[in-house]
Amino acid sequence: MEKFKRLKNEGNEFVKMGEYEEAAKKYSECMKLNTEECTVYTNRALCYLKLYKYEEAKQDCDHVLHIEDSNIKAFYRRALAYKGLQVRKKNMAGI
């Protein structure tokens, strides 16, 4: 549990510095230790949104919503992911 907290805190620090790729890696390491902790999924979803990885963000939010069906952050970030996917689809249609 101590390693989990350390990795999560490191991920949070990377987010504060705008290092979203590094933060996502830390959160992914956390998930290997505990797959039920929803905050690391919503945090990684935030990183994926910042990195324009909308499908990955949506998947993380879907995972959280299977565990906690009323998680507000997961709903909000999934909506942002859907919006990003729609924008990408429209841009691809114009090419």
> Within 13 Å of residue 40, how many CA atoms lie on the same side as its CB?
23
Report pLDDT for 87.
77
**CATH fold of the domain at 1-93:** 1.25.40
Report pLDDT for 55.
96
The neighbour count for residue 44, using CB atoms within 10 Å, is: 29
Report pLDDT for 95.
53
pLDDT digit of tens for each residue in the chain (95 aa)?
A: 899 999 999 999 999 999 999 999 999 999 999 999 999 999 999 999 999 999 999 999 999 999 999 999 999 999 999 999 987 777 666 55
Going by C-alpha positions, the residue among 87, 28, 89, 88 that lies closest to residue 63 is 28
State whether the Cα torsion 54-55-60-61 is positive or negative. positive
